[in-house]
Amino acid sequence: MNAGERAFATKQAKGKQRRAAASAAGGPPTKKPRQGSTKRRSLVACVALVHKDRVLLTRETRGGKRLLNLPGGKGEAGETLGQTAAREAHEETGMQLTKRTRTAIACIADWAECGANQGYAGALTLADDDPDGSVDARFDRAAANSQHGFYGSKTAHEGLEWHALADVHSDAWRREHMHFPGQHRAAAAMHALGRAGADPSTDAPWEPGAKF
């Protein structure tokens, strides 16, 4: 047996040992990552659109629960946080946000990191006469769900609702009315809003590295 054959035999033996150990433990063997390859988890970005002291939330059904969430989702290759939030918010409204709002979301510079690994949240305050202040009335359910593969998705987008800024600020209110991801995303968005100076009612100071 030459050196090449010995190396191959050693590799095969190690593979058998791994499979045998995994079988005894009741599961498949863990594959070693290929050298030089790295898997990056897509970053999640969401945005709180604020209009006349109200926050736009999505009404979603997931896991049999019909609760609220903040518009947002996972990024695609090459996207910035702002681009991800703009695209996701547009999709979850049923492709109803104006280009001006989408551009403004994409240009958000201040992002707060959410707790529980729920990504990043930003905030954008709309002018009183902004047409997207009535985006809830334009919601397209079919379009919103087709963008996220409704028939194979665990989440169904049911509609859009404006809720009082004071309510969304409340941790107790978020726990009662929002899905788990939305609770952390909304909390972070409220702090981002406070840092921007648009909402002085934020009740806790932000510190670098803080998560909400």
d(CA 160, CA 54): 12
Same domain as 14, residue 107 = no
In a domain, 209, yes or no: no
Same domain as 110, residue 173 = yes
**pLDDT above 80: residue 23:** no
What does the pLDDT read at residue 46? 97
**pLDDT above 50: residue 22:** no
Element (DSSP H or E) covering residue 193? helix 180-195
In a domain, 84, yes or no: yes
Mean pLDDT of 63-87: 94
SS3 call for 81: helix
In tens, the pLDDT along 171-190 reads 999 999 999 999 999 999 99
- Please give the mean pLDDT across all residues of the chain: 81
What does the pLDDT read at residue 68? 96
What does the pLDDT read at residue 61? 92
pLDDT above 90: percentage of residues in the chain: 64
The answer to which of 109-123, 140-154, 192-206 has the lowest mean pLDDT is: 192-206
What does the pLDDT read at residue 154? 77
In a domain, 74, yes or no: yes
Same domain as 177, residue 96 = yes
Domain containing 6 equals 1-30
pTM assigned to the model: 0.74
In tens, the pLDDT along 126-143 reads 999 999 999 999 999 999
The answer to whether the beta carbons of residues 156 and 179 sit under 8 Å apart is no
In a domain, 212, yes or no: no
Structure tokens at 208: 């670098």
Listed in sequence order, the residues at least 6 apart from 14 whose beta carbon sits closer than 8 Å to its beta carbon are: none
Same domain as 54, residue 17 = no
In degrees, to the nearest 5, what angle opens at C-alpha 144 toward C-alphas 139 and 147? 155
**pLDDT above 90: residue 193:** yes
